[in-house]
Amino acid sequence: MNDASSVPHIPIKVINPVRRSAQRRVFFFSCVLALTSMAIWLMADILWRGGLTGVETAMLALFVPLFGMVAFGFVQATIGFFVLLKRGKDKGEIMVTLPSAEQDLSQLPATALLIPIYNEDVPRVYEGVRAMFLALKEAEVHRRFDFFILSDSTDPNKWIEEEVEWIDLCKQLNAFGRIFYRKRHIPINRKSGNISDFCRRWGKCYRYMVVLDADSIMEAKTLIKMVQLMEANPQTGILQTVPQPIQGETVFARMLQFAGHCYGPIFQAGLNYWQADNGNFWGHNAIIRTAPFIEHCALPSLPGSGRARFMSHDYVEAALMRRANYQVWLTYTLGGSYENLPPTMIDCAKRDRRWCRGNFQHSWLLLAQGFKPINRLHLTIGILSYLCSPLWLIFLGLGILQYHRDMARTIQPFDADIGLSSYLDVGGGKLAWMLFIVTLILLSFPKVMAWLLIMGNRAKRLSFGGGFYVTLSLLVEHLFSALLAPILMLFTSLSVFFVVIGREISWGTQCRDAGGVDWPSILRAHTWHTLTGLAVAMISYQINPVFFLWMIPITVGLVFSIPISALLSHEGMGHLFSHIGLFCTPPETNKSPLVAQMEQRLEAIRNELPPPEWLQRHFGIAQVLLDPYINAAHVSLMRVKQKLNHGMTSYYKGLCDRLLTRGPDALNRRELLALLRNADSMAHAHDLLWKMPNRLLPTWWTMAMRHYNILTSQQKSPLYR
C-alpha cells in the first residue's frame, strides 16, 4: 500500500484558466434570459387575446421553466460549438495547465482506484481491472496506483465469485498488495457509504482517489494526466472526466452511444464555458483529492430520516468541496475514459427513477448555508431536469382543455373545414406557428451544429464511418428521439409522482446486458403508454380533426411504444445497424487497445462452458464448501472472530445442519449471507460436509460433490476455470 506523504508536490507553474469565468457566466445567462423572455412575450401575446383565463395563466406559468430549459440547452450547445470551432485549446479549460515538459512518472503521488460493485457481472469488472493494471504496468507507473474492489453485493453466489476472481487475478498478475478486495457486511448508504468506508480505513494512505463505476475503465495515459493536473492545480478538489460510452449492443444503447459521441462535445464545451472551476461531480470516472474530501465532504443526514443519506451523493459532494473553497473542474477534452450505457429504454427508465428520487432529495440543500450560488443552480437544474416532464404533461393537458373550451365557445383557432393553413390567418395563429418553429429550431439545431463540426474535420468524419453514415445516423437518431420523447416524459412523470407520494424506490443492481427482448417486461412497461396515446388521439380528434394532426408528434410514439421498445431492445438489430455502419462511433473505428484487450478476454470467458443448470443457482455455495482453497480464502477474509453467545451459536449450528442435510434451497438469501459471514461456521461446514456419510447427504450435495471431483480430476478446479 502506498504512502500519500512519501512524495512531495512537484512545483509547477500554474496557468490560471479562471480569469474571465465571471464575464462568461454573465454573457451565458444573459443569452438564456433574452431567449426565454422573447418566447414568454410571444406566448403571452398568443394567450391573452380576449383576456387571460385561469387555464391560460397556468399555461403561461408552466411555459416559463419549460422553455427556459430549452433555451438553456441551446445556448450551452451554441457556445460550445464556437469554442470547438476554434480548433485550439480553450483558455478556460483546465487542460491548459497540464505541464508540457517531461516529468519523472516514478514521482507520481499515491493514487487509489476505487471500484464499488453491487451484484455486478464479475468477469466484466475484473477484466476491466486487469486491463487497467496491465496498461499502468506497461507505462511503468503501476506501483503508484492501487486498486480497491469495494463490494456491497447481497447475492451469496456473487460474493464467492468475487473472492475467487480476486484471488485468481492477483495470482495471475502477481498483484497481491496492489489489488485489494473489501466486502462490507452491511451495505449502509449504498455507494457513498462504500466510498466513506474506504476513506476511513485507507484514505490517509493516498493523496488522490479515482472513483469508477463497475463498468468504467480508463487509459493509463488518462490516469497519469489526471494526477498531473491535480498536482499542477493544488486548489482543485475534484477533476471530472467525460466518460465515453462504448460496447453498445442493442439499438437503444448504440443510439445513445452515437448521440453521446456526436452531440456530447458541444454541450460539454458549453458547460465548461459557464461553470469553469465551479463544476460538478458525476459520481464516477473522476479523480478526487482525498484529504479535503474526507474533511469537508461527509454527507449530511436527510432531515427527519435518522441516519439516511442522500441517494445521489455526487452533486452534494461537489457543492461541499466548493464550500471548502476547493475547485471542481470538468476536463472535457482529456479522453480515454469509458463507460457502458443501459441496454434498453426500460433499464434507462429504472435508472432514472433512482436518480429522480436522489435529485429531489437535493431540495433540502437549496438554502443550505455556505453553498456557492452556482452549486445551488446545479442542484436546481438537477431537480428541474426531472420536474420538466410532469410540467410538460400538465401543460399538454391544460392545452387540450383550453382548446376544447375555445371550440365550445366557437372561438376556433383552427378551421377544420378549410384546413391547417387557415390557422395562420386567425387570431394569434401566426405567432403560435412562429413559436412552434422557434422551439423546434432550438431543440434540433444543436445536432446540426455537431454535424457541421464533424463534417468539417476529415479525420473526425471518418471516425464516424464517413459523411453519408454520420448524416444518416443523425437523421435516424433524431427520428427515434422524437418518438421516445413522450414515452420518456410519462416514465419520468410517474417517477416524480412516486417521489411526491413517498413511495420507496430501491437502488437495485443496474442491468448492463439486454439478454434478448423481454416481451413480458415490455408489455408491462408500455401498455399504459399505448392506452394513454390512444386516449389522447381520440380526444383530440373529437375536438377537431386538425387538432388531432397537431397532436400526432405526441401520440404516435405513445401508441407504438411497445414495438418501438422491442425494436430498440433487439441485439440482432443492433448488430445489423453496426454492420451497415449506422450509429458508428470513434471508439469502434479506432478501438483502444485497452478496450480491445478486455473484450477479447471477455469473449473467451463467455465461450467457456457454464456450470450445469441445476448447480448455477447455488454455485458459489458449492465452491466455498467443497473446495478447501476457496473455503480457506473466504474464512481468511472474514473479520476478526468474535465470541458468540449460546443463542447465536445455536442459530448458526441450525443453519449449518439445514444446509448440509437439506441442501442450499432450505435456506433463504438472508440465512445464506449470515452463514457466509461467520468464519467458524464456514470452516466447520466445510469439514463436516466431507466427513458426512453419503446416505446422510441430500441428492443436491451428492451431485455437487461428484461434479467437483470430475473437475478436480481434470485439473479444472472451480478456482482455476
Q: Would the pTM count as exceeding 0.85? A: yes
Residue that the C-alpha cell 473553497 belongs to: 325
- How many other β-carbons are positioned within 10 Å of the β-carbon of residue 449? 19
At 239, is the secondary structure helix, strand, or coil?
A: strand
Cβ atoms 274, 587 nearer than 8 A: no
pLDDT tens digits along 552-600: 989 999 999 999 999 999 999 999 999 999 999 999 999 899 999 999 9
Q: Which residues pair with 327 in a beta bridge?
A: 236
Q: Rounded mean pLDDT of 126-152?
A: 95
Assess whether pLDDT exceeds 90 at residue 452.
yes
pLDDT tens digits along 59-109: 999 999 999 999 999 999 999 999 998 866 677 889 988 887 778 888 899
Residue that the C-alpha cell 482455476 belongs to: 720
pLDDT tens digits along 301-312: 877 665 667 888
Q: Rounded mean pLDDT of 370-396?
A: 93
Residue extents of the structural domains in the chain: 21-88+384-588, 613-720
Q: What is the dihedral of CA 580, 582, 586, 591, to 10 degrees?
A: -40
For residue 265, how many C-alpha atoms fall within 13 Å in the half-sphere facing its CB? 22
Q: How far is CA 422 from CA 404, 431, 433, in A?
A: 18, 13, 12
Cβ atoms 697, 660 nearer than 8 A: yes
Length of the chain: 721
Q: What is the dihedral of CA 28, 34, 40, 41, to 10 degrees?
A: 180
Q: Helix 467-501 to helix 552-559 angle, to the nearest 10 degrees? A: 80
Assess whether pLDDT exceeds 60 at residue 457.
yes
First to last CA, the chain: 29
pLDDT tens digits along 492-517: 999 999 888 877 665 555 666 666 78
How many Å apart are CA 718 and CA 208, to the nearest integer? 36
- What are the start-end ranges of the H helices in 425-518? 429-455, 458-463, 467-501
Cβ atoms 626, 689 nearer than 8 A: yes
Dihedral class, residue 609 (left if φ above 0, else alpha if ψ from -120 to 50, else beta)? beta
pLDDT tens digits along 510-539: 666 666 788 899 999 999 999 999 999 999
- Of 151, 154, 147, the closest CA to residue 184 belongs to 151
For residue 639, report the phi and psi dihedrals to the nearest 5 degrees.
-70, 175
Determine the pLDDT at residue 346. Answer: 92
How many Å apart are CA 596 and CA 599, to the nearest integer? 5
- 716 band by pLDDT with thresholds 50, 70 and 90: low
How many Å apart are CA 539 and CA 546, to the nearest integer? 12
Of 19-28, 210-219, 358-367, 479-488, give the lowest mean pLDDT range.
Answer: 19-28
How many Å apart are CA 207 and CA 394, to the nearest integer? 50
Determine the pLDDT at residue 441. Answer: 92
**Burial label, 603 (beta-carbon count in 10 A; 0-12, 13-18, 19+):** exposed
Pairing mode, if any, of strands 217-218 and 337-339? antiparallel
Of 398-407, 449-458, 579-588, 671-680, give the lowest mean pLDDT range.
Answer: 398-407
How many Å apart are CA 479 and CA 472, to the nearest integer? 11
pLDDT tens digits along 212-228: 999 999 999 999 999 99
